[in-house]
Amino acid sequence: MAVRAIVVNRWSCARICALVFLAAFAVRVGLMFATQSYLYPDSGEVLAIAKSLATHGTFADAYCNGCGPTAHSAPLYPLLLSLIFRLFGMGVAGNFAQEVFSSLLASLQYALVPYVAEICGMGRFTGLLGGLLGALLPINRWVQTKGNFEYALAGLLCVIVTMAVIRTWQKQDFSWRRGLLLGLLWGITLLTAPQFALLMIVSLAYPYLTVPTARSRYWIFILAHVVVVTLCLAPWAIRNLNVLGSPIWGRSNVGLELNLSNNQEASAVWQENWDNGLFERLHPYISHAQRERVREVGEVAYNREQSSAALHWMASHPTRFVRLTAQRVFYFWISPMKRIGQTIALAVITLLGFWGLVRYVRSGSFGRQYFSLLWFFFPLSAYLFQQSGRLRYPIEWSSFLFAGYWFISVAKSGPAHAGRYVYLPTSTKGAQ
């Protein structure tokens, strides 16, 4: 085993990342062919918007044809999907290309896990193990391969932003140029998944609060960062102001999702709400009455109504709301999957990831600060909504990374394995 660890640590990080990518892509495309999933297209608001863009060039018709302009989804992923539909059509070829594209995004995400381990001083063997765990165990397969929603892209962007932020903190490079780069990455991420906004704000404030030597030059970094993020979001907000009457910078459906998740009939789990008919009564994509209400008052006013109804219910049913929220916290981390085997497998990876993160934080290694912020702040907004395997997916890769870290750290520290593993940090800064 020592020889294997030495060999892995002598490989270039690029070679390890390429290996993980090939494994991940082969597994996902192989499953596509095995299940012929591309012959069974799903539906959904994001796909409806992408098809409207492909056929009419408009962000519209999220709930039905003729429903009008929309900001139900953040703009980047529907725009990318619409390019695929323009090239390949909206039949079987388009479905196949959509799934290949989503599989490509998920594979790139896991391919970058070894590089995250590299810059955090975990060692290349840890990076290879964490990346291969994610590559070879597509437990949350539908989210990664189907491509109906933006979560595969959000996961890839989360890895890229993680690498950029940790590198910035390591080098204490708070120059305006670095601010421009991070601002661009965060802007693209928010145009894909607005739920990263809180994490962005916290990660921007953290160095100022904890690195006194950086404060004198940090304001120019913040200014550059904020300017670029604003420039990224401004076209979408201006479009929504002109078309919908409100400068929505992310997505408009928060009120709808809040009301779906917080009412007297709601369960903490998406699938249960679907099965008990809640969507048929409350969601305009399914309910004719709700679609007519969207047409009558407009999407923005409709979501305000939904938000008011949800907030009123939360205030008038505090005990039930707290119980629902506690259940959603649990199900965010122990995601309920379609099959019990998937649920158990993902739960095991999650628990190992938690233990790995605890060991990593205790080790004092650089990067522990960012991952602590990532696991604490990213889920906070998700706890208000019904849970499914999709919501946690953007940070799921880090569970595989820390599960790998747990395996390696236990092997290093266990008395029965003393001397059998060789751990060679590949970044002196990351090993501080």
3-state secondary structure of 414: coil
- From residue 353, how far is each of 177, 364, 421 by CA, in Å? 34, 17, 20
CA-to-CA distance for 267 and 324, rounded, in angstroms?
Answer: 7
Helix or strand (DSSP H, E) at 278: helix 278-282
- Flag the least confident range among 192-206, 233-247, 270-284, 410-424: 410-424
Q: Tell me the pLDDT tens digit for each residue of 21-71.
A: 999 999 999 999 999 999 998 889 999 999 999 999 999 999 988 889 999
Q: Tell me the pLDDT tens digit for each residue of 149-193.
A: 999 999 999 999 999 999 999 998 999 999 999 999 999 999 999
- Kindly indicate the confidence band of residue 9, based on its pLDDT and cuts at 50, 70 and 90: low
The dihedral over CA atoms of 276, 277, 281, 283, expressed in degrees to the nearest 10, equals: 100
Give me the pLDDT at residue 152, please: 96
Give me the pLDDT at residue 133, please: 97
Percent of the chain with pLDDT over 70: 93
Give me the pLDDT at residue 414, please: 59
CA-to-CA distance for 4 and 292, rounded, in angstroms?
Answer: 63
C-alpha closest to that of 110 among 89, 138, 70:
138
Give me the pLDDT at residue 430, please: 34
What is the arithmetic mean of pLDDT over 3-7?
Answer: 47
- Residue ranges of alpha helices (H) inside 112-196 are 113-119, 124-136, 141-145, 151-171, 176-192
Residue 380 pLDDT greater than 70, yes or no:
yes
Residues 6+ positions from 298 with CB-CB distance below 8 Å: 68, 244, 245
Q: How much is the mean pLDDT over the chain?
A: 91
Q: Tell me the pLDDT tens digit for each residue of 227-265.
A: 999 999 999 999 999 999 999 999 999 999 999 999 999
- Kindly indicate the confidence band of residue 8, based on its pLDDT and cuts at 50, 70 and 90: low
For 389-398, give one letter per residue: b (16+ CB within 10 A) or e: bbbbbbbbbb
3-state secondary structure of 69: strand
The dihedral over CA atoms of 395, 399, 405, 408, expressed in degrees to the nearest 10, equals: -150
